[in-house]
């Protein structure tokens, strides 16, 4: 079973853009921060570490304020909902009581710094996941104007406290999935007629106190029980279901790699391609596992039926049925005519 620190890789989906713009001397002022930090801390122990912050502008000095805030899940895709209001109540999984870090840091032009912080988990603290976020706000030191934040630079902080935690993931749905207008919305479908099924998806409700990243595989068989596809990784992006979240996990039946431009850089991403399935009825068998060190590994098994019946195939079937009906009609008519002829004799 994968260790819990691996699932934080998907948290990059939660993070807003880390660049800021400032109209000072027609120069661009920005902050460079790492999008996430994950640590394992035992109850009764403490850990010291560092944050990395850089001033991307070569001419302007900035003061960067560090604000610790909580966040919750929003929707089924993992988008975070930052608790930005002042004096917001702490979430049950808040890391704020356990972390100590500076309130601000000064950065000269083009300067980068490692900012020390520490986390102490008290004795008797229950095992599970604790998380908050650090929101970075920057302002030029020369007073030339405010930094215009185009997207709040936010670093997500995750801590796992090992031990026997409460882990419970409930499967809500599993089956074929079709995106509608964008990646945020779509429909679970069992019948595909206009196009081939390209994605499978499943909904998991996290009713425990551990942020979980399931792992497993999906086997697709045809109506004769023969395997036609094997999806070895049912969670290819290592997505995470936060505490109290119902998270949608998506996987391509067949995937290919595509190079796209993100933030001026070329990045390779997985995209779904046509699986080239024959028309017919298919069954998808899914086996998932989850669990952290100190807890028993749990398993989720599910089966979904997918009908791929394109319009042309339905038309062929109707034509065949019509031809069979016509032959039967002709044969019966011929038999009836033959019997009538015999009676006349």
Report the pLDDT value the prediction gives residue 98, as an integer from 0 to 100.
96
Which of 4-8, 54-58, 72-76, 245-249 has the largest mean confidence? 245-249
Picking from 271, 264, 263, the residue whose alpha carbon sits closest to that of residue 12 is 263
132: three-class secondary structure by DSSP: strand
Instruction: Classify strands 186-189 and 31-33 as parallel, antiparallel or unpaired.
Output: unpaired
Average pLDDT of the residues of the chain: 82
CATH code (residue 218): 2.60.40
Q: Do residues 183 and 143 share a domain?
A: no
More confident residue, 281 or 20: 281
The pTM (predicted TM-score) of the whole model is 0.74
Q: Do residues 60 and 150 share a domain?
A: yes
Picking from 53, 36, 157, the residue whose alpha carbon sits closest to that of residue 115 is 53
Q: Would 338 be classed as within a structural domain?
A: no
More confident residue, 15 or 227: 227
Report the pLDDT value the prediction gives residue 331, as an integer from 0 to 100.
86
Cα gap 202→104, rounded to integer Å: 42
Q: Do residues 152 and 225 share a domain?
A: no
Residue located via tokens 């595509």: 258
Q: Which domain holds residue 290?
A: 169-309
Instruction: Classify strands 227-231 and 215-221 as parallel, antiparallel or unpaired.
Output: antiparallel
Q: Would 325 be classed as within a structural domain?
A: no
- DSSP code of residue 284: E
Cα gap 266→322, rounded to integer Å: 55
Cα gap 340→330, rounded to integer Å: 15
End-to-end CA distance of the chain: 85
Q: Do residues 183 and 104 share a domain?
A: no
Cα gap 257→251, rounded to integer Å: 14
Query: In the chain, pLDDT over 70 holds for what percent of residues?
Result: 80
CATH code (residue 90): 2.60.40.10
């Amino acid at each position: 079973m994968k260790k819990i620190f691996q699932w934080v890789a998907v948290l990059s989906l939660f993070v807003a853009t880390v660049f800021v713009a400032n109209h000072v001397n027609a120069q661009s002022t920005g902050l460079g921060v790492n999008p996430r930090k994950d640590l394992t801390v035992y109850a009764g122990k403490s850990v010291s570490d560092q944050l990395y912050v850089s001033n991307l502008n070569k001419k302007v000095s900035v003061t960067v304020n560090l604000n610790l805030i909580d966040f919750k899940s929003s929707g089924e895709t993992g988008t975070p909902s930052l608790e930005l209001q002042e004096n917001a109540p702490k979430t049950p999984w808040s890391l704020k009581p356990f972390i100590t870090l500076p309130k601000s840091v000064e950065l000269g032009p083009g300067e980068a710094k490692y900012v020390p912080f520490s986390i102490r988990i008290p004795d008797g603290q229950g095992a599970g996941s604790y998380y908050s976020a650090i929101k970075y706000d920057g302002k030029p030191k020369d007073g030339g104007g405010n930094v215009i934040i185009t997207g709040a630079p936010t670093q997500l902080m995750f801590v796992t406290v090992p031990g026997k935690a409460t882990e419970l993931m409930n499967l809500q749905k599993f089956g074929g999935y079709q995106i509608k207008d964008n990646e945020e919305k779509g429909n679970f479908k069992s019948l595909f007629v206009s196009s081939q099924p390209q994605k499978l998806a499943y909904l998991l409700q996290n009713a425990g106190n551990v942020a979980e990243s399931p792992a497993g595989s999906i086997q697709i068989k045809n109506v004769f029980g023969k395997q036609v596809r094997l999806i070895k990784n049912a969670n290819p992006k290592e997505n995470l279901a936060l505490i109290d979240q119902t998270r949608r996990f998506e996987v391509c039946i067949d995937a290919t790699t595509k190079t796209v431009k993100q933030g001026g850089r070329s990045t390779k991403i997985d995209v779904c391609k046509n699986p080239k399935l024959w028309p017919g009825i298919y069954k998808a068998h899914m086996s998932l596992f989850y669990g952290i060190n100190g807890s028993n590994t749990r398993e989720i098994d599910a089966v979904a039926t997918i009908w791929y019946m394109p319009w042309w195939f339905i038309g062929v079937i109707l034509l065949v049925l019509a031809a069979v009906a016509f032959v039967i009609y002709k044969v019966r008519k011929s038999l009836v005519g033959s019997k009538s002829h015999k009676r006349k004799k």
